[in-house]
Structure 1
Amino acid sequence: MRLPEISVRRPVATIMVFAAILLLGSVAFFKLNLDMLPDIEPPAVSVITPYPGASATDVESDITKYLEDQLSTTPNLDRMESKSKDNIS
């Protein structure tokens, strides 16, 4: 016998198998420890600020120093590194 024939001849058995699969799937789904948006802590953050037409010293004095002062108040900050180049900090 083929599966469709068995399913048509024994509808109660078919419904019971379907219900068992649905129940087992539901139990497995709720036991999974997955989140749609898990809480993660990125190990690093990059801040890039363009300053067109400025030299590296201007970028450092106008942008980089200010950003360092503001970002140094961030809690749990272990290390900070900054670079100033022409047109970008």
Structure 2
Amino acid sequence: MSLDRSDIDKIAQLARLALAPENTDRLAVDLSNILALVAQMDAVDTSGVLPMAHPLHMTQRLRPDQPTESDQRERFQELAPLTDSGLYLVPKVID
């Protein structure tokens, strides 16, 4: 697909872009090349390719799951106005 100056002007108007007139021809060529590349990629048969979440088949390195802080639950609950059986009690906000 080949774009001309009028196509670029329409795209710029829809995108609310102010383009300098001297850049319109270069942008038409660049966008035409991008659309040609997309058409070329669209022509490739990908029916046997499984979708991937990430382009690299790597596993994430994880740190050991070890606690780094001591349990301070009782200390924090002593500061709370109301608690019951380890839970914070708050006023009802929805009827």
- Structure 1 length-normalised TM: 0.25
Which protein has the bigger helix share?
Answer: 1
Which protein has the bigger strand share?
Answer: 2
Higher relative contact order (CA 8 A, sep 6+): 1
